[in-house]
Homo-oligomer: A and B are copies of this chain.
Amino acid sequence: MGKYNVAIVGAAGAVGREMLSIVQERGLPYNELRLLEKEDGTFTTEDGVEYEAIEATPEVFEDIDIALFSAGSAASKKLAPEAAKRGTVVVDNSSAFRMDPEIPLVVPEVNPEDINNHKGIIANPNCSTIQMVGALKPIYDQVGIKRIVVSTYQAVSGSGKAAMDELLEQSKSILEGKEAKAEVYPHQIAFNALPHIDIFFDDGYTKEEMKMVNETKKIMGDDSIKVTATTVRIPVLIGHAESVNLELGAELEVKEAKELLDAAEGVRVVDNPEELVYPMQNQIEEIDDILVGRIRKDNTIDAGLNLWIVANNLRKGAALNTVQIAEKLIENNAL
């Protein structure tokens, strides 16, 4: 296996920092790891290490093999094609290219084969979609899935580092009896829930909800899967949770579902109600697996199943998935 020049675009952000740490921790084989930001500067990670970032211009991609992007849609739209033009393979964590039919949208445990069809850009799905399709794939493969009703409980880190700071600041203010200032979100998020993630469309759905609908079909490669979603921000720092109700193609006993999920790569069953064990967001910070619990038959329909899915939105929902795509690119000789 050779070594590659790797770039992280948006390296100082919440997801960028996770990319930086995951690239190192998983030993992605790089010669150079180039950190890119809006402008030249330094940033310090939580463990106290100072890193230098340089300005992300089209030219800095000249000798880059793989670029992991997490700098927002606008930056991706501008720079990803420039990087691709220069021979870089871009793994993009923004929503810019996800629904482009020419661009693969990949969760490595679900549709790794799509990686090989890239034309210079591969899109990383939305965090809430990644953990849902990751958990549902083994069930889908066994019995099929007709319909998904999902309600989410999403962490503020999905909106970046400023949102995490806002939740902490607001919580502090409220505990001190002061008013909570809302800047990142339109309303107070501390001790509150906002049924609103990303922009609203005319039919009343949010863009986040439609991402779950459309990306699920594309990643699963099955337009017949029906998805309806309600996405909600709750005052949690890291980790998204999802209450998922499924109408399956055929009956699946809870025991079978657990066996399928336990055997799947990147998925772990955490489901022991007797011992009060179920997936929780406050235990997800160091975890890469998608956790599934509260697995119950839903007898209100034929072949119904309820699940509670928790994953780390910064890692599996974002940075880890991009690094895993990069690993597959290398493994498949698809650069």
Interface residues of A (CB under 8 A from B): 147, 149, 151, 153, 167-168, 171-172, 175, 186-188, 191-196, 200, 203-205, 226-228, 230, 232, 234-237, 241, 243, 245, 254, 271, 273-274, 276, 278-282, 293-301, 304, 306, 308
Contacts and interface: CB of A to CB of B under 8 A. Distances in A.
B228 A281 contact: no
A204 B296 contact: yes
B300 A193 contact: no
Q: Which of A168, A234, A236 is most buried by chain B, counting CB atoms within 10 A of its CB?
A: A234
Chain A contact residues: helix, strand, loop or mixed: mixed
Contacts of A245: 149, 228, 230, 245
Contacts of A234: 153, 193, 234-235
Contacts of A192: 236, 280-282
Contacts of A296: 203-205
A237 to B, nearest CB: 6
A273 B200 contact: yes
Contacts of A301: 147, 226
Contacts of A273: 196, 200, 204
30 contacts: A149-B300, A153-B234, A171-B171, A187-B276, A187-B280, A191-B235, A191-B237, A192-B281, A193-B236, A193-B241, A193-B281, A194-B278, A195-B280, A195-B308, A200-B274, A203-B296, A203-B297, A204-B254, A204-B271, A204-B294, A205-B296, A226-B300, A228-B245, A228-B299, A228-B300, A228-B306, A230-B243, A230-B245, A232-B241, A235-B236
A277 B273 CA distance: 37
Contact of A175 (B168, B188, B298): B168
A73 B191 CA distance: 29
Nearest to A231: B243
Contacts of A149: 149, 245, 300
Contacts of A153: 153, 193, 232, 234
A235 B232 contact: no
Contacts of A228: 245, 298-300, 304, 306
Contact of A188 (B276, B279, B282, B306): B282
A326 to B, nearest CB: 31
Nearest to A305: B228
